[in-house]
Amino acid sequence: MSAEAVQTAPWSSDEMMAVAASRALHDGTVCFVGIGLPSTAANLARRTHAPGVVLIYESGTLGTKPDTLPLSVGDGVLADTADTVVSVPEVFNYWLQPGRIHVGFLGAAQIDRFANINTTVVGEYAHPKVRLPGAGGAPEIAASCCEVIVVVRQTPRAFVDRVDFVTSVGFGRGPGDRERLGLRGRGPQRVITDFGVLAPDPATCELTLAQVHPGVDVEQAVAATGWPLAVSPDLRQSEPPTAGELAVLRELEATRRRP
Amino acid sequence: MAEILPLAEAVGRLVHDGHTVALEGFTHLIPFAAGHEIIRQRRRDLTLVRMTPDLIYDQMIGAGCASKLIFSWGGNPGVGSLHRFRDAVQNGWPAPLTIEEHSHAGMANRYVAGASGLPFAVLRGYVGTDLAGQTETIKPITCPFTGEVLTAVPAINPDVSVIHAQHADRDGNVQMWGITGIQKEAVLAARHSLVTVEEVVDHLKPRPGAVVLPTWALDYVALVPGGAHPSYAQGFYPRDNAYYRAWDAISRDRESFLGWLNRAVLADQGVTA
């Protein structure tokens, strides 16, 4: 390998992923935020280009504006900085279920070619190889938000041809399934990874590579995917993170490491 | 009218082997001290109900209190897995644990039905997921007005619900604020209830957004300052994030867990890791 080939970017692949995900949110977007990578990206958006993004966590905190990254969906900072705090039944029944929330921002343990998400078990349900945390709010977020954005590191273990367990429905087995099931949101429109961005093909609903991050080869993304990953004819390259985005992201990450 | 009693006495009167017990609190106000008292009283064969069985149920499951878990998300928030829960599900240690698994929306609606005196709740949920195929308590239902097929989940009516709150007055009226999650519904759905509180005050001060549970809707109130530690109590103490992180290593193997259990719960009645 030549010296040029191992030259490293002044940002990590996780930072690129967080920045790319943050750019999917805009002022006025109402976003149901999952913990972990989605929460980092959503708070980065609010601290950079989208100060008017509305963040909702399943603990019932509506319009929250945390100054530190929460470790869990129910951290005190979320309640302290919220427009209002509602009960858990209210957040699901009144706010999520009728379709008032534009974007559901989710993570995943496994995701498949039709963007179905598994956070329940690896292996058989009754005799799991790995017992994962389970559904939480995700099934109804995936069903009822106008659209879903998934943020997940791309590895062959995570990107599988078919998930072992459908915790949250993406496009089921393909075109028409969401309509047949009566799911009212449009489903996952982007899957943002540390290699690039995948988007459902408009005809087949299969996730295809739409964008690669700077310094990432298409072959790397294909190798990290457990099905033959199709590449969009309009493949684009992500804009690199700006110095401003990186500075805010690093400052946010530092707040999470405090005790 | 709620009676104000010491924690051990209230738990002793309410929680019995074989009961269905819900300890609720969504990240905030988790009734850890009450959970540890249930462990000390060596209750067995409980059906434990909780939307987010995090550390408190990991500890109770590892201590052998539970034979069944009804839940919707079982993890150590922001840290990782619940190792005692996993060991029970995957290896049956210290006792086999059956599970009844839902989503948050489903669990929330089950409590609402329970609190409302209804046999079931209706929601848009679970459709197309594999949960519907694994969990008996998820069924389709047709709307009698529109013909639309929706999802029904049965009410949860615990024998006992336990929550933690900031304040009670001397009559046993309870007040909590901040993220109040599903606690009101959990208490109203239950046959009996126990609320542990940070402080007993002369008068409850009105607060915007606070939830008040009147004394006549409760059975027992116990004064337990710090009773939500290592979770937090808004206005009293922050979440002990270091405890949550440390739990990962403590709970990872059976020996270190049993050492912790003897040291922190059974021996000195303390609640520190």
* B181–A35 CB contact, under 8 Å: no
Average pLDDT over residues B172-182: 97
Burial zone of B268 (CB within 10 Å; 0-12 exposed, 13-18 middle, 19+ buried):
exposed
Q: Which amino acid is at A88?
A: V
* A138–B105 CB contact, under 8 Å: no
CB neighbourhood size of A69 (10 A)? 22
Using CA atoms, how far residue A122 sits from A117, A133, A134, A165, in Å, is 12, 11, 11, 8
Residue A177 in contact with residue A171, Cβ under 8 Å? yes
SS3 A206: coil
* CA pair distance B114, B162, nearest whole angstrom: 15
For the record, the structure tokens of A37 come out as 């990578």
pLDDT, position B272: 44
Query: What is the side-by-side strand order in the sheet with B139-142?
Result: B120-123, B149-154, B139-142
Average pLDDT over residues B7-18: 98
At residue B13, does pLDDT exceed 50?
A: yes
At residue B173, does pLDDT exceed 70?
A: yes
The lowest-confidence range among A125-134, A136-145, B175-184, B254-263 is: A125-134
For the record, the structure tokens of A76 come out as 């005190």
How close is the nearest chain B Cα to the Cα of A46, in Å?
A: 21
How do residues A68-93 score in pLDDT, each as one tens digit? 898 888 989 999 999 999 999 999 99
DSSP codes joined into one string, B60-118: HHHTT-EEEEEES--SBTTTB--HHHHHHHHH--SS--EEEE--HHHHHHHHHHHHHT-
Average pLDDT over residues B238-242: 93
At residue B37, does pLDDT exceed 90?
A: yes
The lowest-confidence range among A72-81, B139-148, B170-179, B183-192 is: A72-81
CATH number reported for the structural domain that contains residue B38 in this entry: 3.40.1080.10
At residue B6, does pLDDT exceed 90?
A: yes
At residue A1, does pLDDT exceed 90?
A: no
pLDDT, position B235: 96
pLDDT, position B184: 98
* CA pair distance A239, A234, nearest whole angstrom: 15
How do residues A136-170 score in pLDDT, each as one tens digit? 999 999 999 999 999 999 999 999 999 999 999 99
Q: Say which of A71, A75, A133 has its CB closest to residue B74.
A: A133
Percent of chain B with pLDDT over 70: 98
Residue A22 in contact with residue A45, Cβ under 8 Å? yes
How do residues A96-121 score in pLDDT, each as one tens digit? 999 999 999 999 999 999 999 999 99
Q: Say which of B28, B128, B181 has its CB closest to residue A76.
A: B28
Average pLDDT over residues B151-173: 98
On whether any CB of chain A is under 8 Å from the CB of B236, the answer is: no
Q: Does residue B122 belong to any structural domain of this protein?
A: no
**What is the rounded average pLDDT for all residues in chain B?**
96
* CA pair distance A122, A192, nearest whole angstrom: 22
How do residues A169-201 score in pLDDT, each as one tens digit? 999 999 999 999 999 999 999 999 999 999 999
pLDDT, position B269: 57
Q: Tell me the residue ranges of DSSP E strands in B2-71.
A: 3-4, 20-23, 46-50, 66-71
Chain B hits for A165, CB-CB cut-off 8 Å, are 130
Consecutive H or E run containing A209: strand A207-212
Number of compact structural domains in chain B: 1
Say which residue, B127 or A4, is predicted with more confidence: B127
* B26–A88 CB contact, under 8 Å: yes
Is the C-alpha dihedral spanning B56, B18, A134, B256 positive or negative? positive
Average pLDDT over residues B149-166: 98
At residue B56, does pLDDT exceed 80?
A: yes
Q: Indicate the domain borders of chain A.
A: 13-257
Backbone angles phi, psi at A210, to 5 degrees: -105, -20
**What is the rounded average pLDDT for all residues in chain A?**
94
| Domain carrying residue B203 | 3-102+157-267
Burial zone of A146 (CB within 10 Å; 0-12 exposed, 13-18 middle, 19+ buried):
middle
On whether any CB of chain B is under 8 Å from the CB of A183, the answer is: yes
Average pLDDT over residues B102-130: 98
Q: Say which of A36, A76, A93 has its CB closest to residue B178.
A: A76
pLDDT, position B246: 97
* CA pair distance A181, A201, nearest whole angstrom: 20
On whether any CB of chain A is under 8 Å from the CB of B117, the answer is: no
Residue B132 in contact with residue B126, Cβ under 8 Å? yes
At residue B115, does pLDDT exceed 60?
A: yes
How close is the nearest chain A Cα to the Cα of B167, in Å?
A: 17
At residue A242, does pLDDT exceed 50?
A: yes
B14-43 core/surface letters (b: 16 or more CB in 10 A; e: else): bbeeebbbbbbbbbbbbbbbbbbbbbbeeb
pLDDT, position B270: 46
Task: Choose, out of B104, B126, B163, B207, the residue to mutate when testing the contact with A (most A CBs < 10 Å).
Answer: B104
* CA pair distance B204, A129, nearest whole angstrom: 51
pLDDT-derived band of residue A8, with 50, 70 and 90 as boundaries?
low
* CA pair distance A256, A252, nearest whole angstrom: 7
Average pLDDT over residues B254-260: 97
Tell me the catalytic residues of A. Answer: 58
Point out which residues pair with B192 in neighbouring strands. B160
Which of the listed CATH numbers 3.40.1080.10, 3.90.550.10, 3.30.110.60, 3.40.1160.10 matches domain A13-257? 3.40.1080.10
How close is the nearest chain B Cα to the Cα of A169, in Å?
A: 6
At residue B19, does pLDDT exceed 90?
A: yes
